[in-house]
Amino acid sequence: MKAFRTCLLLGLLLSSAAWSAPQPRLALPDFAALTKKASQSVTITLDSSMLAMASRFLDGDDPENAATREVIKGLQGIYVRSYTFDQDNVYRESDIEAVSNQLAAPGWTRLVQTKSRKTRANVDIYLMVADNKAIGMALIATEPRTLTIVNIVGSIDLDKLHKLEGHFGVPNVDIDSPASAAPPRQK
């Protein structure tokens, strides 16, 4: 009986540690209020089964599509929320605090932070690494009339990650120019 209690206690401790550990999948708000205010909104939720299905539609004979298919093999999900507004400053910083607070947790590391006073564009890119492998990535790109949040979950090959730009709602990001983090096109 004592061994059973010890095992039970150990199991509870390990499971509580797992619950409190930061996860690569962010809990993205539904942003219903922003969707109503936006002139354009994009919500993409692709879990591993949806990614597998979507990859079948990529032409394997096209080198660009073949490279994209290769990148998504190890992914567990791509989650995108992107909004474009007709006026400046429709969204507030508090609208994205739920996301940025998760990225402040241990396990996430900010790789890139760009800010432009001229265009008031900001891009922040975060990475979660476990066992020397990238297992999560998050991007928050803001401009006065746009807000884009991207969360990629799974085994991420950083050398090939750029192949996802313009696919599955992942925006094209030019690190040298924050204003180029344009809202994603749906393909």
44 located within any domain: yes
What is the per-residue burial (b if ≥16 Cβ within 10 Å, else e) of 56-86?
eebeeeeeebeebbebbebbbbbbbbbbbbe
Q: What is the mean pLDDT of residues 46-64?
A: 85
What share of the chain in percent tops pLDDT 70?
Answer: 73
158 located within any domain: yes
Q: What is the mean pLDDT of residues 48-59?
A: 85
187 located within any domain: no
Tokens of 32: 């219903």
What share of the chain in percent tops pLDDT 90?
Answer: 51
Q: Using CA atoms, how far apart are residues 10 and 85, in angstroms rounded to an integer? A: 51
Domain assignment of residue 65, given as a range: 22-180
Helices (H), 47-182: 48-55, 63-72, 93-103
95 located within any domain: yes
75 located within any domain: yes
Q: How confident is the model at residue 7 (pLDDT cuts 50, 70, 90)?
A: very low
73 located within any domain: yes
Q: How confident is the model at residue 15, as a pLDDT?
A: 42
Q: Using CA atoms, how far apart are residues 42 and 61, in angstroms rounded to an integer? A: 29
7 located within any domain: no
- DSSP state, residue 39: S
**Radius of gyration over alpha carbons of the chain, in Å?**
19
Q: What is the mean pLDDT of residues 148-162?
A: 83
Higher-confidence position of 162 and 154: 154
Q: How confident is the model at residue 6, as a pLDDT?
A: 44
| Total domains in the fold of the chain | 1
pLDDT, one tens digit per residue, over 78-88 is 999 999 999 99
Q: Is the pLDDT of residue 72 over 70?
A: yes
8 located within any domain: no
pLDDT, one tens digit per residue, over 92-108 is 998 899 999 999 999 99
